[in-house]
Structure 1
Amino acid sequence: MKKTFLTLCFSALFSSGLAAQGLTLELSNKTTNNNLPSASGVVVSQEKIYAVGDDSPWLYQLSPEFTIVEKELIKEYPVGDNGRILKKVKPDFEALDIISVSEKPSFVMLGSGSKLDVREWAFIISHDGELKIERSLKPLYKTLRQAAGYTADQEINVEGLATSKDSAFIINRGNGGSNVIFELDLEDFQDYLAGESELIEDVKAYHVALPIVKGFEAGLSGAAYWVETDSLVLTASIEATGDAYNDGEILGSYVGLVALDDLSQNRTLDLSDNLVPLMEGNQRLITKIESVAFTSQSLDKIEGLLASDNDDGSSEFFNFSLSK
């Protein structure tokens, strides 16, 4: 088993109040799954792994070895011979989290919003299978654009979703507009998903700057909430493309941290030094990390998995640990 060790010293303040922190990222078990296309969201629930692909109509349950155990149809879509949803109609499931909706623990999948109408939908499937909701995100994504101060030619491109005790964080990739972490009241978001409200008025937008490679800025791609440190673990990747619709050459990926205290105090935040690149030897690991999930967490360490979509119809997974 080959493992890669990476260390990063942080200049950002954490909730512990320390001025600097060192993180060690350990990767192992690089695995390719050719039967799950375009992995874009991953969560762990009751020691089971679940994943979605941005152009697949299925919610997958995976084994610890990242093979498909079961799959549940999210919605019927026209697919090609390769089983992937046709690009012109794909909902672009890019964000996945487990949230209580109508008092039922549920898988919540969000479309990216990078194509009006087609990609502005949420799908909610409760764990017991009794609740299935298809919910328009059009009003919410309009609010996100306004909160971010986007111009008419800038695009929403939602890539991640994470929840703390009181807030939902919607992660926007900056290849169509800018990298933004949106914060919503969790109860307001739950009511919206359940169809009990049509508008969320209070949305905070935190603009973040990320590393630049070959003239292209990294784009946020996923997040998960680290309870013990009151922080978001972020993933980001770099593609050589200037829009949210077309794929580009993959230039690498990152994992890093931002404390919620830092977000609350800064509506604009430079996270360039808070992210560490994934490396293979002395070279950047050319993979497009899309999502992160935890299998265990403590005050000093988290363990979990990373999901990667390399735009070739397959998916790549890694086990990881991140320790302070």
Structure 2
Amino acid sequence: MEKITLELLFQINGIGSASGLIYRDDSLFIISDNSSFLYEYNIQEKELHKIKLFEKSQENIPKKDKFDFESITQKGNKFYLFGSGSTPNRNKRISYDLTSAAIEDKDLSAIYGKLKQTASISDADLNIEGSLFHNEKWHLFQRGNGAQSKNGLFVLDKKENDIRFFPIPLPKIQNIEATFTDAILVEDKIYFLAAAENTTSTYDDGEVLGSFIGALSFDTFEVAFTQKISATHKFEGLSLYTSSKENIEFLLCEDKDTEALETDIYKLTLNLK
């Protein structure tokens, strides 16, 4: 079993329902699943800045109207934010250029339709919660917390015009399977978060039963390890903080499923010895 420690690092006021984060140059870039802002928090200065993704960006958007940004990743000099796809208005992908601050909006309805067709997933059960780009391919992590329980990984090869789906079973808590909530690539492994939630809906929240950290082999997508890290928290964001031969440190954020504009940031240390 991997040696893991988890500690609360600090709290950020002004952000609620955090669903993804990226650590870069002593700042945290954070998304919220009920907001249409991208947040930048300077750790040393303890200052929070809001980046408008739309002309009329809002916080605490009603559930039926929200874009449900559940995933943020970096490709080149841009951040990419993905809507979950769990309703028609959650099919957007936003890019943010780190140099020019230019923002682009893309409708992924057609691509998300192909994902559902490839994996035989119903409209209500698509739920993209993690993303990464590597070897000219997008890797999108499907949280299988819907009625069909299809948890796994989509690999999109644009050059070959090919989409593949890899089902990935994860551990259970009280007979409820944990499902992906975020993932990042570190060297030759995909480290991921997964949560067990007592619901069969991608739309309605359920009782949180716990969260896991784990890793997949990048070559085979086989599960290398999983370990429960909490019985009460639903961690939804994962970013690399520091790494050495002895340890990897990650930063995590938690979605509390409330309208409170506060976000706890945790540090998880994985001992590699």
Common fold: TM-score over 0.5: yes
Report if aligned partners of 1:77, 1:85 keep a CA contact under 8 Å in 2: no
How much does 1:316 deviate?
2.4
Report if aligned partners of 2:70, 2:82 keep a CA contact under 8 Å in 1: yes
Q: Which residue is 1:207 aligned to? A: 167
Q: Which residue is 1:219 aligned to? A: 179
**Structure 1: how far apart are the matches of 2:50 and 2:215?**
32
Q: Which residue is 1:266 aligned to? A: none
Specify which of 212, 218, 229 is matched with residue 278 of structure 1. Answer: 229
Deviations 1:132-175 (Å, cap 9, x if unpaired)?
1110011111121122232x465210001123344321111001
Q: Which residue is 1:13 aligned to? A: none
- Higher strand fraction (1 or 2): 2
**Structure 1: how far apart are the matches of 2:212 and 2:197?**
12
Deviations 1:224-270 (Å, cap 9, x if unpaired)?
1011xx0100100111111100011111111011111222xxxxx5x
**Structure 1: how far apart are the matches of 2:81 and 2:57?**
19
For structure 1, list consecutive stretches of 5 or more residues without a partner in the other structure. Answer: 1-7, 9-22, 190-199, 264-268
SS at match of 1:209: coil
Report if aligned partners of 2:196, 2:209 keep a CA contact under 8 Å in 1: yes
Which aligned pairs between 1:162-241 and structure 2 lie closer than 5 A?
A: 162-176=132-146, 177=148, 178-185=150-157, 188=158, 201-227=161-187, 230-241=188-199
**Structure 2: how far apart are the matches of 1:34 and 1:130?**
24
**Structure 2: how far apart are the matches of 1:134 and 1:55?**
17
Q: Which residue is 2:43 aligned to? A: 64
The alignment covers a number of residue pairs equal to 268
**Structure 2: how far apart are the matches of 1:206 and 1:169?**
11
Which aligned pairs between 1:30-49 and structure 2 lie closer than 5 A?
A: 30-49=9-28
Report if aligned partners of 2:37, 2:50 keep a CA contact under 8 Å in 1: yes
Q: Which residue is 1:261 aligned to? A: 219
TM-score, with length taken from structure 2: 0.90
**Structure 1: how far apart are the matches of 2:190 and 2:166?**
13
Q: Over the residues paired in the alignment, what is the CA RMSD in angstroms?
A: 2.2
**Among the aligned pairs, what percent are the same residue?**
26
Aligned residue identity for 1:245: Y
Q: Which residue is 1:156 aligned to? A: 126
Report if aligned partners of 2:26, 2:44 keep a CA contact under 8 Å in 1: no
Report if aligned partners of 1:158, 1:170 keep a CA contact under 8 Å in 2: yes
Largest Rg, 1 or 2: 1
**Structure 2: how far apart are the matches of 1:256 and 1:140?**
28
Aligned residue identity for 1:297: S
Report if aligned partners of 1:169, 1:181 keep a CA contact under 8 Å in 2: yes
For structure 2, list consecutive stretches of 5 or more residues without a partner in the other structure. Answer: none
TM-score, with length taken from structure 1: 0.76
Report if aligned partners of 1:27, 1:320 keep a CA contact under 8 Å in 2: yes
Shift of the 174–93 alpha-carbon distance from structure 1 to 2, 3 Å rule, reads same
How much does 1:215 deviate?
2.8
Specify which of 204, 212, 230 is matched with residue 246 of structure 1. Answer: 204
Shift of the 78–258 alpha-carbon distance from structure 1 to 2, 3 Å rule, reads closer
